[in-house]
Amino acid sequence: MPTYVTLLTFTDKGIQTIKDAPKRVETARQMAKAAGSQIKAVYYVMGRYDAIVISEAPDDETAVRMALGGSMQGNVKSETLRAFPDDEFMKIVAKLP
């Protein structure tokens, strides 16, 4: 399954309700599972972003749906990146002219 890295930034609402973060993460895990995806890891970070989520989804459409569904709650803004493991990337590079 493809891997995705989602960079999250808390909104004002997300900061005001930060104590609900554990419940929100659990809800996100359940939503992902129901969609055939899996949240592999959640990291809270310092700097430009507040959290990073590593997930797997069957396809890009599902990954986008999950990211939009999470953002609809109004607690975070997200940016999702498709991640390629090094072996998969090397196969892509090998096909270059």
The answer to whether the beta carbons of residues 40 and 55 sit under 8 Å apart is: yes
Mean pLDDT of 51-56: 97
Q: Domain spanning 3-94 has what CATH number?
A: 3.30.70.920
To the nearest whole percent, how much of the chain has pLDDT over 90? 92
To the nearest whole percent, how much of the chain has pLDDT over 70? 100
Residue pLDDT, tens place only, 66-87: 988 888 999 999 999 999 999 9
pTM, to two decimals = 0.89
Report how far residue 78's alpha carbon sits from residue 96's, in angstroms, rounded to the nearest whole number: 32
User: Average per-residue pLDDT in the chain?
Assistant: 95
- pLDDT at residue 56 in the model: 97
Mean pLDDT of 36-52: 97
- Which sign does the torsion angle of CA 73, 54, 40, 50 carry? negative
Structure tokens at 18: 């930060």
Report how far residue 62's alpha carbon sits from residue 58's, in angstroms, rounded to the nearest whole number: 7
Domain parsing of the chain, residue ranges: 3-94
